[in-house]
Structure 1
Amino acid sequence: MLCYVVFNAVQVMVWWIFDSSNHFWPIWSIVAWGIGLMFHIWGVSRPARVG
């Protein structure tokens, strides 16, 4: 989770400092990685099936 936050914060800073366009391109990795992270957390935290 810390890697997700740090890496995406760095991407946003790079976009903010170096990109002159108004297209917020870091959104693609934030959303895609966030969906994967959400499914991982959901799979780890739900109770195990018995039977």
Structure 2
Amino acid sequence: MAVYVGMLRLGRLCAGSSGVLGARAALSRSWQEARLQGVRFLRPSGEKLAHQGV
């Protein structure tokens, strides 16, 4: 959860820059990857489902 909060802070810092779209895309991708890893960690039996989503 702390990592997610850190990404939110980074997003806010980048929000005022001209690269806001790139920052949002990077945050979105990082969050999706972190969520997939979290699902695999919490639910090992759902690993096949996670691979299908990729």
Is the structural similarity TM-score above 0.5?
Answer: yes
5 Å matches for 1:33-44?
Answer: 33-44=30-41
Task: Report the aligned-residue RMSD.
Answer: 2.5
For structure 1, list consecutive stretches of 5 or more residues without a partner in the other structure: none
Larger helix proportion of the pair: 2
TM-score (norm: length of structure 2): 0.55
Structure 1 residue 22, shift from structure 2 partner: 8.4
The equivalent of 1:13 in structure 2 is 13
Larger RCO of the pair (alpha carbons < 8 Å, separation 6+): 1
TM-score (norm: length of structure 1): 0.57
Structure 1 residue 9, shift from structure 2 partner: 1.2
| Paired positions, count | 45
Pick the structure with greater CA Rg.
1
What percent identity do the matched residue pairs reach? 13
Structure 1 residue 47, shift from structure 2 partner: 4.8
